[in-house]
Structure 1
């Protein structure tokens, strides 16, 4: 077994479930530039989105979400027009479930 395979197994074990959504949101970068996102999945700790802008890893952004409002996050990975972001602070579960209900409803 290679160490790479072991590392992937460990990452998969730590991955949390995400809710599939389709929601257009705005994000503001540290330099004040606005970016349009299509959020495709979400958890209390972060999101994955499609983005036309090329956001670099470690970029700090503010994503505006229903119920929650502006939410600070860090781009953890960026690949082929997709980004993965980790929120600075997890969304509390009551607010998270309310948020997912709104995002799922708006995506229909």
Structure 2
């Protein structure tokens, strides 16, 4: 999928699909301070969230999810209050589907 921003274009090369979740997670930035963090979509390998906090590529965050606990995620991109992160360790599929069911039920 290609996305255009003015004269810039980005190509989405992710292999995995993302599941829409809209989950307000507890998250902690590189300085260990708690962040406002709304997870918009999720996959076993990463997430996209909305947050007012400024992030740099390579920042490491901790995001807390029910059942899986605290996951470390590395910022891959940040743009206009949105941030894309890749988990340090992917969530195994059985745990992922349990987490997804819990998050969708919480809506």
The TM-score normalised by the length of structure 2 is 0.86
Q: Secondary structure at the match of 1:94?
A: helix
Number of the residue aligned with 1:102: 102
The TM-score normalised by the length of structure 1 is 0.85
1:21 deviates by 0.5
1:35 deviates by 0.8
* Count of residue pairs the alignment pairs up: 100
Q: What residue ranges of structure 2 are gaps of 5+ in the alignment?
A: 1-7
1:55 deviates by 1.7
CA offset digits 1:53-76 (Å, max 9, x no partner): 112211111100111000011010
Number of the residue aligned with 2:51: 51
CA offset digits 1:58-106 (Å, max 9, x no partner): 1111100111000011010000000000000000000000000011111
Which structure has the highest helix share of the two?
1
**Cα separation, 1, equivalents of 2:15 and 2:48:** 13
Number of the residue aligned with 1:73: 73
1:19 deviates by 0.5
Please provide the CA RMSD for this pair: 1.8
Q: What residue ranges of structure 1 are gaps of 5+ in the alignment?
A: none
